[in-house]
Amino acid sequence: MQLLAAKFNQIATAIETTNAQIAALQAKLSELQEHQQQLLSVEQACQSALAQVGTALSMLNHVDPAEIGTFKAAVEAQFGTDAIAFLESATPTPAETVEPEPVEPTAPESPAAPDVEPAIDVEATDTTDTPIVPTPTTTAADIEGLLNKMTIQNIRKLASAKKVSGNGTRAAIAGRLKAIVTQADIWNATA
């Protein structure tokens, strides 16, 4: 009995270590997905800004082409070191995260045991659509929160309707949709 108890404790320790590594990797994955969503939002804002600059330039060329140089100087001033120095990051710099030291799991040393990989249980959560109540003012964060409450089937259906890729996780799809959907779109997709 002593030998089996030691092996059981050894396996339990290996499971705990593996679960800690999985948790650290899941946290890192969430962090990377959030950063990817932020980059997508920035990309969309930059594309929108470029389109607006193009429209303004076209209008200025039609109204008074002599002022194009003034417009160019104003745009270039936005990229000056003084102007950028006044800009603050939208999100505070995250504190440095300490990742756990990777520890190689040890397998029980039993010559009679067959070479079988241990199974890792992963708890799956079932998310169902929750009723979305319209409010007069909805922020991008609210939209993203509402998107993340949708079932994967409904968010993929909404992505398809908006001609956006429905591939990936719910969070990834929500990141692509948050800048282009309204609360009414979400409401209609879950109704």
31 sits in which H/E element: helix 2-63
Tens-of-pLDDT digits for all 191 residues of the chain? 577 888 888 899 999 999 999 999 999 999 999 999 999 988 898 888 888 988 888 888 888 889 889 888 888 877 776 655 555 555 555 555 556 666 666 655 554 444 555 555 555 555 554 544 444 456 777 888 888 888 999 999 999 999 988 898 888 888 888 889 888 888 888 87
Residue 39: closest CA among 78, 91, 95, 99: 91
Kindly report the pTM of this predicted structure: 0.39
Contact, 143 vs 181, CB < 8 A?
Answer: yes
